[in-house]
Amino acid sequence: MLVGIIGSPNKGKSLLFSTLTSIEVPVADYPFTTIQPNQGVAMLRMKCAHVEMGLAKCDARGGHCKDGMREIAVPLLDVAGLVPGASEGRGMGNQFLDDLRTADGFVQVVDASGRTDLEGKPAENFPLEEEIGFLQAELAGWLAGILKRNEAKYKNRGLAELMEAVSGLGYTSSQITVAAQKAGVSLERIQWNGEQTARFARNLWADGKPMVVAANKADLPGAMERVKRMQTGREGGESSGGASATGHAAIRPCSAMYEHALQKAARAGMIEYSPGVPDFEITGSPDAAQRQALERIRSFMKENGGTGVHAALRELVFGKLGMMVVYPVEDENHYTDRKGNVLPDAILVPPGTTAVQLAAAVHTDLAKSFIGAVDAKTKRRVGRDHPLQNGDIIKIVAAR
């Protein structure tokens, strides 16, 4: 899977990406600091299966497991800021939007304080719902443009030809079918006008590429109040409403600056802190100013359940996308690989993943020689089309 970090310029996207991935990227208070997309991997913590199975520990590979909490890798892509008119090519919009085509979902970073406008320039009380809505409209407009340019491939045809026209975007037939139903358009002998195409694109984008809004800079004065008004539908007047303004997207207040400060303090040995947890412990000897700053951060975390940075990504991955974690093993009795490592791998898979699809995720050859699988928790033999559940421990049985 791949998560895109998006937003208009100067909202703190690159800093948020850096805190999630521990990759230092250029950060500045002017638009288009990022030109080429940054790629990295974030680690989300969740309860490890070894705890449920009563095992003393696991031998996590590709992530730590501490105090029963397993780190799960999530690939991220940070793309340059998008401005109004991006779907028509403004501000290198076509290039930036094309970078996002393979993402499964998005975290949209906005300025909760309202101190920057859609261009990333200084502003005062810029409407939060306008910032959220503009980007979703640009993304849907970009998709509508792709559909229009490829119209010859599916005009007077059906679902199969339409899927071919958008084959590089990762949509499933069921997502396309649902979007067409919601848009009130037919998938038989397609002859859509411009408005019907746009309506279909809006629905396909909203449902097929889920989004969570990270209301960044929520630590600034008045920002948290603005977010709360947005969440309750009172930001920008009654007509905009929280649900319609966010267009299917959950909104989560956060502070990438506070998260960055905590990680820096932890590296310096001043505090003990694990990214994503709701509190920290002072273990070093901060001076008076540093202690005051740490307590200010703690107060924000207490109100918000943490800095909110990892919470926004978690909401997208496990909430909106419904991703599951499964553990492939080679010994269903000891939950190990052939070298005796306990639960070495934890793999993110989408809902509805089957046993044979897990085999393909582990290695393509396993899927080709797939015979069956064993649910290690129940020791029951299952077939290729057996749907997996979150936390499953599965042994793949394949021909030599």
Q: What is the pLDDT of residues 106-152, one digit of tens each?
A: 999 999 999 999 999 999 999 999 999 988 888 898 899 999 999 99
**Mean pLDDT throughout 349-354?**
96
Q: What is the pLDDT of residues 60-97, one digit of tens each?
A: 998 899 999 999 999 999 987 788 876 676 554 456 67
Same domain for 218 and 132, yes or no, is: yes
The pTM of the full predicted model, rounded to 2 decimals, is: 0.89
Same domain for 230 and 355, yes or no, is: no
Q: Is residue 29, in this structure, part of any structural domain at all?
A: yes
Same domain for 231 and 278, yes or no, is: no
More confident position, 248 or 128: 128
Same domain for 224 and 289, yes or no, is: no
Same domain for 174 and 300, yes or no, is: no
Q: What is the pLDDT of residues 183-209, one digit of tens each?
A: 999 999 999 999 999 999 999 988 889
Same domain for 230 and 265, yes or no, is: no
Q: What is the pLDDT of residues 207-242, one digit of tens each?
A: 889 999 999 999 999 999 999 998 887 554 433 333
CATH number at residue 142: 1.10.8.470
User: CA 311: distance to chain centroid?
Assistant: 10
Same domain for 284 and 224, yes or no, is: no
Q: Is residue 62, in this structure, part of any structural domain at all?
A: no
Q: Is residue 70, in this structure, part of any structural domain at all?
A: no
Q: What is the rounded average pLDDT for all residues in the chain?
A: 90
User: CA 136: distance to chain centroid?
Assistant: 15
Same domain for 243 and 263, yes or no, is: no
CA atoms within 13 A on the CB side of 212: 24
Band of the pLDDT at 100, cuts 50, 70, 90? confident
Same domain for 21 and 93, yes or no, is: yes
Q: Is residue 222, in this structure, part of any structural domain at all?
A: yes
Q: What is the pLDDT of residues 353-396, one digit of tens each?
A: 999 999 999 999 999 999 999 999 999 999 999 999 999 999 99
For residue 322, CA distances in Å to 1, 72, 318 come to 12, 14, 5
| Structural domains in the chain (count) | 3
**Mean pLDDT throughout 321-346?**
97
Same domain for 293 and 372, yes or no, is: no
The beta strand positions in the chain, using DSSP E, are: 3-6, 38-47, 65-66, 69-78, 105-111, 211-216, 250-253, 271-272, 281-282, 324-329, 347-349, 370-375, 380-382, 393-398
Instruction: Look up the domain containing 179 and give its range.
Output: 3-37+79-253
